Amino acid sequence: MRITDITVYSYIAEYNGGTYSMSNGRTCTGQPSIVVRIRTDSDIEGWAENAPLGSDYLPSSFTGELAALKELGPQILGLDPRCPGAISAKLDRAMMSGMSAKSVIDIACWDILGKATGLPTHILLGGRLFDAPPAFSVIGFGEIPVAVQKALAEHAKGVVAMQVKVGDDPLVDARRARAIREALPESVNIFADANASWNLSQALIFARALGQDVTIPFEQPCRSLSDCAQVARLTGLPIILDECIVTMADLVTAHAAGITGVNIKLSRVGGITKARILRDTAVALEMNVNIDDTWGCALTTTQNLQLAASTRPDRLGAVDCFAEWTHPLIAEVPRMQVNGRLTPSSVPGNGYRLINVEMLGEPLFYISK
User: Cα separation of 311 and 350, whole Å?
Assistant: 15
- Residue 324 phi/psi, 5-degree rounding, is -95, -20
DSSP β-bridge partners for residue 21:
27
Give yes or no for a contact between 188 and 160, defined as CB atoms under 8 angstroms apart.
yes
Beta carbon of residue 242, minimum distance to Mg ion (angstroms, whole number)? 4
Q: Is the peptide bond before 328 cis (omega within 30 degrees of 0)?
A: yes
CB of 47 to Mg ion, least distance (A): 26
Residues 6+ apart with CB under 8 A from 199: 222, 227
Query: Cβ-closest residue to Mg ion?
Result: 242
Q: Please, which residue, 70 or 223, has the CB nearer to Mg ion?
A: 223
Least CB distance from residue 318 to Mg ion, whole Å? Answer: 12
Residue placing its CB nearer to Mg ion in the complex, 11 or 57? 57
Out of 102, 115, 150, 265, pick the active-site residue: 265
Provide the minimum distance between the beta carbon of 219 and Mg ion in the complex, in angstroms, as a whole number: 5
Spatial distance between the Cα atoms of 138 and 296, rounded to a whole number of angstroms: 15
Q: Which is nearer to Mg ion, 219 or 324 (CB)?
A: 219
- What b/e string do you get for 17-43 counting C-beta neighbours within 10 Å, with b at 16 or more? eeebbbbeebeeebbbbbbbbbbbeee
Catalytic site residue 265?
Answer: yes
Shortest Cβ 291–Mg ion spacing (Å)? 12
Residue (38 or 196) nearer to Mg ion, CB: 196
Of 273, 281, 319, 313, nearest in space to 300 by CA: 319
CB-wise, 130 or 136, nearer to Mg ion? Answer: 136
**Dihedral sign computed on CA atoms, order 214, 217, 219, 225:** positive
- Residues near Mg ion (CB under 5 A) are 193, 219, 242
Query: Is residue 74 left, alpha or beta, with left meaning phi > 0 and alpha meaning psi from -120 to 50?
Result: alpha
User: 106 or 242: whose CB is closer to Mg ion?
Assistant: 242
Q: Which of 102, 115, 150, 165 is an active site residue?
A: 165
C-alpha to C-alpha distance for 150 and 159, rounded to whole angstroms: 11
CB of 178 to Mg ion, least distance (A): 20
- Return the DSSP state at 133: P
d(CA 58, CA 64) in angstroms, rounded, equals 12
Maximal CA-CA distance, the chain = 63
Euclidean distance between CA atoms 306 and 24, whole angstroms: 32
Q: How many CA atoms lie within 13 A of 47 on its CB side?
A: 22
The residues assigned a catalytic role are 165, 265
